Chains A and B, each alone.
Chain A
């Protein structure tokens, strides 16, 4: 049985025919829509590399069956820049060396954007680390990631920042 699925992905409406209900949101984005920013790390919800926003909330795309989010609004790393300018969180990751190999970075950035929407301005490094504990970085760029999120939070809340 073929299922039809309609999603808004990064502001564009997409209708996909799915012949297999096992397709996860992550596989749909990467294999059917050509959006390879979200990464398949563990594929078990443990590493956070697949993090995207669904209706504004960060989720693990690898543990989401695509059919379950039919009708939703999905934002991936490919959709956060505006008019050729990086999103403030993207810019802050560059300014603070918030990555080394870069594999976890799209998930880190989407998770940080989601966290700010949930928690508001973030200054306490402990709260940032706790809020991003679902995103692993095996290069160990955590110090830079924490600073980047702190700085981006200042910019997004209108209190300055260095990035």
Chain B
């Protein structure tokens, strides 16, 4: 690990001043940044520890019913907040399906949004990677790319965004609140993560020196709470990144779909909102035929970026299945295996 200067600001102004220094990186939970500093993929000159900043660790219900989650709220803390989990159950389920108990205690909301791809060539400084060093090429093309993108990728980069949490956040039309040297601003969640195009090194809408302050969830999203699920297909039952994941939220009116929200994870460089599939479901009877059509529509533009054509069919099936789970109703208690295809909806273990 390269040596760095460590600073621990206690006010936002101090943090922004430190973050403006050349080679500065903000540190919160550290689960991703410190790991990449160990591989050498990230080599900051200044580490700005923002964990002691005030006012970024609260979950607040605003006057208009929106819910504001501070960027320093830990994943485990948010998932364990009963009022939050009741209002936004798909987000709680996604949180509980991510990483391990230890990492969920450390990782923060802001860090989750800003985490890097788990493409092995990005983490390895000896590999060619346009995302880490623009213009060097992409060793994932022609390399180990089973888990890479099938939507929104470019010749320059086929990496995926690995977050679970961000998938239902995208489905909820969340808003990202940002503070920076030029003041405060907001970015719609769907515009926060960038597709690679010709500039895969630009991964988010964040400008240099800016900090994610909070994520705001529209209060309207609570209307989905009775029918909101997250499904995560992994290569082992727990503690693995998604091969493909999907969030689905429905508002039902006498068996017909009044409103639908669908987003996928593990398929693109950003959480992938399936707007066409959502629109096609409105007015339909909530049955398997409609859910399969939604799966087809959600992956309509998908194409393999390597040895990963299987993820397209997996994505279709994941969408259909998570819609079926959502239609069946949000369980009263978190399943023993959150978001797992092996968990029954009643919470009773299917194996073991």
Report A's interface with B, CB cutoff 8 A: 1, 3, 20-22, 24, 43-45, 48, 51, 57-60, 63-65, 67-68, 70, 111, 114-115, 118, 124-127, 129-135
Cross-chain contact A118 with B101 (CB below 8 angstroms): yes
Q: Are B30 and A68 in contact (CB under 8 A)?
A: yes
A sample of 13 cross-chain residue pairs with beta-carbon separation below 8 angstroms, ordered by A number, consists of A21-B3, A21-B5, A24-B34, A51-B102, A57-B76, A57-B105, A64-B34, A65-B34, A67-B49, A126-B352, A129-B352, A131-B101, A132-B101
The answer to whether the Cβ of B100 comes within 8 Å of any Cβ in the partner chain is yes
Chain B interface, number of residues (Cβ within 8 angstroms): 32
A133 & B238 in contact (Cβ 8 Å cutoff): yes
Q: Is B103 an interface position by the 8 A CB rule?
A: yes
Q: Mark B23-67, 1 if CB is under 8 A from A, else 0.
A: 000010011001100100000000101010000000000000000
Contact assessment for B238 and A59 in the assembled complex, using a CB-CB cutoff below 8 Å: no
Q: Which 8 A-B pairs have the closest CB atoms?
A: A134-B100, A21-B6, A133-B238, A133-B239, A126-B336, A126-B349, A57-B105, A127-B336
Q: Closest residue of chain B to A69, judged by CB?
A: B51
Contact between chains at A68 and B49 (CB < 8 Å): yes
| Bound Cα distance A126, B344 (Å) | 12
Contact in complex: A63, B336 (CB < 8 Å): no
B3, B8, B100, B352, most chain A CB atoms within 10 A: B100
Q: B99 on the interface (CB 8 Å rule)?
A: yes
- Cross-chain contact of A118 among B51, B76, B239 (Cβ < 8 A): B76
Closest to B80 in A: A118
Contact for B100 among A48, A126, A127, CB less than 8 A: A48
B276 proximal to A (CB < 8 A): no
Inter-chain contacts of A43 with B (CB < 8 A): 38
B106 contacts A59, C-beta separation under 8 Å: yes
Known A-B contacts A63-B34, A125-B349, A129-B238; A22 and B1 likewise in contact (beta carbons under 8 Å): yes
Cβ-closest chain B residue relative to A56: B105
Chain B: residues with CB nearer than 8 A to chain A? 1, 3-6, 8, 27, 30-31, 34-35, 38, 47, 49, 51, 76, 80, 99-103, 105-106, 237-239, 336-338, 349, 352
Report A26 CB to chain B, min CB distance, Å: 11
Which residues on the B side are within 8 Å of A124 (C-beta)? 336, 349
Tell me how far the C-beta of A144 lies from the nearest C-beta in chain B, rounded to whole angstroms.
Answer: 15
**A44 close to B35 (CB less than 8 A):** yes
Beta-carbon contact of B30 and A65 below 8 Å: yes
Contact with B336, one of A21, A48, A111, A130 (Cβ below 8 angstroms): A130
Contact across chains for A20 and B337 when beta carbons are under 8 A apart = no
Query: When chains A and B are docked, how far (Å) is the Cα of A129 from the Cα of B237?
Result: 10
Which residue of chain B has its CB nearest to the CB of A21?
A: B6
Task: Return A12 CB to nearest CB of chain B, in Å.
Answer: 23
Q: Output the nearest chain A residue to B47 by Cβ-Cβ distance.
A: A21
Minimum distance in angstroms from B15 CB to a CB of chain A:
14
Given contacts A63-B106, A126-B336, contact A44 B239 (CB under 8 A): no
Query: How distant is the Cα of A24 from the Cα of B1 in the complex, in angstroms?
Result: 11
Q: Which of A3, A68, A114, A125 has the most CB of B within 10 A?
A: A68
Which residues of chain B come closer than 8 Å to A59, judged between CB atoms?
102, 105-106
